[in-house]
Amino acid sequence: MRRMVGALMTGTLVAGALVAGATAAAMIAAPAPAAADGGGGGEPLQGKLDNVVAASAVGGLAEVRDEHRVWRGTSGVAEVGRSASVPANGRFRAGSITKTFVATVVLQLVDEGAVRLDDSVEKWLPGVIPNGEGITVRHLLNHTSGLYDFKDTLRLPDIVANRWKTWTADEVIRRAVANPPTSTTPGRIFDYSNTNYTVLGEIITAATGASYGDEVERRIVRPLGLHGTEMPGTSPHISGPHPHGYLPTAEGLLDFTEMNPSLFGAGGELISTTRDLNDFFSALLTGQLLSPRLLAEMKQPAVEGRDYGLGLAWRDTECGVRVYGNDGDSLTYQSWAFSTPDASHQVSVVLTPNFKADSDDYIGNFLDEAIC
């Protein structure tokens, strides 16, 4: 859910959030470089991570890999008002990086002949989506369906008030389709919508008889040994070591680490670690999870000029190297995971934002340092 909090805040709440961010910053000591492992050469990375956290976050953690080493570093604190460092192996909500996992499951079903990219939504979910016969699996994967984003029917106070609510896919889809589509011609216009992946989760269930979460764990998490990764469903907890995550309110930063993640569903419920995300993208991009044909399809832009394919995004670094992966925003955690196609250079980083500033304005320097 790309930069979800910013999109959800009303004008009044934005002002309160900025005050809250400044208050929180006063409570947090200047980011202290935590112990990093993986050998020498990490000083520039640590400095860049410290800069990002000082500008925009309570804490941060990262894992960077190249042909010679693995570097893990942290900055800031794990919890506002306390001095404990962010755990280097900490778990977090990975937001829209979930979409790449779900897209991989869908494409495995395509590889197996159980689903086709050109199948209509109507074929799998009769009567659920208006114009379901004109929207295909491909349109859902690459955000060209025109389906209204259910996220835009919510405001931050609504989410806080419904912290423990279990959201069903049916409910989320109904909220979305009660609004007109953003495009009446599927396939022509890219418009990022979390509703697309809610629908894909339902198609996975229709095709397999199992939930999308079970299929992600059966096909990806367990085979790759991603021991810090899970699809939590409706469980509000993050087990094991983890930094706390916060939401901005007029009264200050609200600890929102625990919440019912069914709101995010197939578009964003994943809990993971930086190590596991690097392992996943290494396996995906080196052909361990999909056929060469469908991996190539993942990298095809939704529409010309876009940096998003079938659940996979990319960015070009300052040194001209293109890396593939995704980023995620789960309200209280912001994450990025990118890899070169041969997985020789990888970076995964997560922040717990304090909403003083937009972390997107600062994270690029860290990603470039990690890859270049």
Active site residues per annotation: 96
Fill in the amino acid letter for 309. G
**What is the C-alpha separation between 182 and 330, in angstroms, rounded?**
23
Q: Which two tokens stand for residue 209?
A: 């008889």
> Whole-angstrom distance between the N-terminal and C-terminal Cα of the chain?
27
156: closest CA among 250, 66, 222, 49?
250
With beta carbons less than 8 A apart as the criterion, state whether 80 and 65 touch: no
112: closest CA among 297, 300, 291?
291
Dihedrals phi, psi of 365, to nearest 5 degrees: -65, -40
196: closest CA among 331, 94, 96, 92?
96
**What is the C-alpha separation between 295 and 292, in angstroms, rounded?**
5
R_g (Cα) of the chain, nearest Å: 20
Residues in the chain: 372
Beta-carbon contacts of 332 under 8 Å, excluding residues fewer than 6 positions away, are: 93, 245, 246, 247, 256, 257, 352, 353
